[in-house]
Structure 1
Amino acid sequence: MTLPSRRGNTGGMTDRPVVLCIGAVLWDVIGRAPLHLRLGSDVPGRIVRLPGGVAMNIAMTLARFGLRPELLTVVGRDPEGEELLARAAALGCGTDFAYRSEDLPTDRYMAIEGAGGLVAAIADAHSLEQAGGRILAPLSDGRLATEAAPWAGPVALDGNLTEQLLAEIAASPLFAAADLRVAPASPGKAERLLALLGHPRATLYVNLEEAGLLCHDRFEDAATAARALVERGAARALVTDGGRTASEATADRCLTAHPPEVLVTRVTGAGDTFMAAHVASELAGRAPQEALERALTAAAAYVSGDTPT
């Protein structure tokens, strides 16, 4: 895959982001306890606040792999937003094209995780939803691309975008040449991706539950789910199933791989890490099977706590 570049007004080559990450950039507030939790549990644990959101998680992982992610998102002009963008820049994520809102607050996500994994979560991404297509302005006004010269590199799309905006992206000439990599924000938002299911340049990254929601079916394994997504119109689908086999399917192949066995210490952001590591591996020229295996290894290192947040 050829990395995108562009000539500036001076005629010389300008540095360009390699991957656009479009979607949620927010503060994660996560409570973790090393116990199995039930409704009403009140237990000791740790509470952390760190940069998060699907687009941000993907961008941070891409930066760790030495790539140049650029964030297209909305961040408020509040103290939380200023701190968030400063942290993002320090982590190697481009923030020059983020839409800064005077009247929308910086989004937040809150989750509780126990020994059995995610217990519950609430995503307050209302500012992203209200900003809508304003976050895409750099792709049409010449700062990154125009309709006549659309962005031709990889784009990570976040299912936190509204169903309407995702449908517009699916039909937009601004994305006609892009390598679209699409991830749902959660099973509750998986069906927002239906508009992109038949896009010829889109790769879907979903877990087994999300694949079932998109296909209105239930699957016992990732390979069956990945093939079903392709039959439903996906150009390519990657399906994960926690610590079980993951699969990648296209019209002419279906690959499988097993993730390393690790002790799970966190889960929020694991799917985003898998997707980003897979994109980075393919951009580095890895073969499909190796790219799948490297992505699973990166996700396993993340959930085990070996990868820094």
Structure 2
Amino acid sequence: MTRDRAHDVVVLGDANPDLVLRGDVVPRFGQAEQLVDAADLTLGGSGAIMAAGLARLGVDVAIVAAVGRDPFGDLVLGMLEEHGVATDLVVRRGDLGTGLSVVLSAGTRAILTHAGAIGSLTAADVPAEAVAAARHVHVASPYLVTRLRADLPTVLAGARSSSVDTNDDPARAWADLAALADAAGTLLPNDGEVVLWAQALGHRTDDWLDAAAYVASRGVEVVVKAGAEGGAHVTADGVVRQEPAPVTPVDTTGAGDTFDAAWVAARLAGEPPERALRWAVAAGTLSTQGVGGTAAQPDRDTLLRAVGVLP
């Protein structure tokens, strides 16, 4: 694949291996050795998982991310290509190692991340022609892609349509949030993040729907992932809710990124917001039935059956 080929979606963000450890274990310090039930090395990074979800749904997608020239970098590139994600825009660093996340999955999740090359991505690494040619540009984890974050409003100005999923800010400072929110066409937070966003933007609330409405009042659509409560599409004109199918999750790693992928795929397919929300909630729910972010991502037919379009 070459850098001059246009892609329907370009994802800007993080790509790294995830080491997912599962078991009913709370880590203890003091050289206490504890046993977990399972360990899996999977494709990780919000950007990479979202891109894999799009590819699984039949969307031509490329990722712009930075990895090292090391075995983990080779692993990430191989995993992306196996999932059908174009890697012609991936940058390899000789002076930095590939990032790595350790995910402790025990009903809830704790994530330890070594950023490595992730934060080295800059606006100079994002080809303007790829952004302009894409039907949609998605930004993942700008609070890990630290050197690119301040330039994202300028980058997104060249996009035909765009979305942003900030994920968490490890510093909880939410720098550049207002400019990023105003530059994006669609914001894709989870219910906890949107409360923190609203608070950072000056609105004191602990209610995620109230927080989403406040953020949407800036003139952007907000699509919220709410776990067991499903999701919501929030604009200045009102709220649409979607409940999930009842399931027992195996692992929730990457469920939000799969939700994002299905939302974008549905909108590119011409689906209205309420139907796109059904796709997104169903995809996120299905993805919890496997370990890691990509193992249970649905293909298009599986997703269409889940939302009742196919028998």
Amino acid at match of 1:52: G
* Corresponding position of 1:11: none
User: Within 5 Å, which residues of 2 pair with 1:37-48?
Assistant: 37-40=25-28, 42-48=34-40
**Cross-structure match for 2:301:** none
* 2-structure distance, mates of 1:24, 1:197: 19
The SS at the match of 2:179 is: helix
In the other structure, the counterpart of 1:55 is 47
Q: Tell me the equivalent position of 2:75.
A: 83
**Matching of residues 1-309 of structure 1 within 5 Å:** 16-33=6-23, 35=24, 37-40=25-28, 42-114=34-106, 116-118=107-109, 120-136=110-126, 138-139=127-128, 142=129, 144=130, 150-151=132-133, 153-160=135-142, 161-162=144-145, 165-172=148-155, 175-186=157-168, 188=170, 191-192=174-175, 193-199=177-183, 201-216=184-199, 217-220=204-207, 222-231=208-217, 233-305=218-290, 308=295
> Post-superposition shift, 1:274?
0.6
RMSD of Structure 2 on Structure 1 (CA): 2.4
Instruction: Show CA shifts across 1:195-216 (max 9, x none).
Output: 21222x4211111111111111
| 2:189 aligned counterpart, secondary structure | strand
TM-score w.r.t. the length of structure 1 is: 0.83
**Aligned counterparts of 1:177 and 1:112: Cα–Cα separation in 2:** 36
CA distance in structure 1 between the aligned counterparts of 2:68 and 2:147, rounded to whole angstroms: 22
Q: Distance in 2 between matches of 1:198 and 1:205?
A: 13
Cα distance, 1:297 vs. partner? 0.7
Structure 1 residues 181, 196: CA separation in 2 closer, same or farther (over 3 Å shift)?
same
For residues 128 and 305 of structure 1, the distance between their equivalents in structure 2, rounded to whole angstroms, comes to 26
Counterpart-to-counterpart distance in 2, 1:124 and 1:218: 32
- Tell whether the 8 Å contact from 1:202 to 1:234 is kept in structure 2 after alignment: no
Residue 15 of structure 1: how far off its partner (Å): 5.5
* Mapped partners of 1:164, 1:44: distance in 2: 36
What count of residue pairs does the alignment treat as equivalent?
281
Displacement of 1:57 in angstroms is: 0.4
Distance (whole Å) between structure 2 residues aligned to residue 168 and residue 24 of structure 1: 16
Query: Unpaired runs of 5+ in structure 1?
Result: 1-7, 9-13
Once the two structures are superposed, what CA deviation does each residue of 1:111-145 show, in whole Å capped at 9, x if it has no partner? 1010x221x21122231212333431x22xx5x36
SS of the counterpart of 2:118? helix
Give structure 2 stretches of 5+ with no counterpart. Answer: 297-311
Shift of 1:95: 0.3
Larger RCO of the pair (alpha carbons < 8 Å, separation 6+): 2
- Contact 2:22 2:39 survives alignment (8 Å): yes
Deviations 1:226-259 (A, max 9, x none): 212112x251101122101421112223211111
For 1:280 and 1:123, the matched residues in 2 are separated by 28
Contact 1:26 1:107 (C-alpha < 8 Å) held by counterparts: yes
| 2: CA distance, partners of 1:24 / 1:101 | 14
The sequence identity of aligned pairs, in percent, is 27
1:28–1:274 CA distance, 2 compared to 1 (3 A): same
What secondary structure, in the 3-state scheme, does the structure 1 residue paired with 2:232 have?
Answer: strand
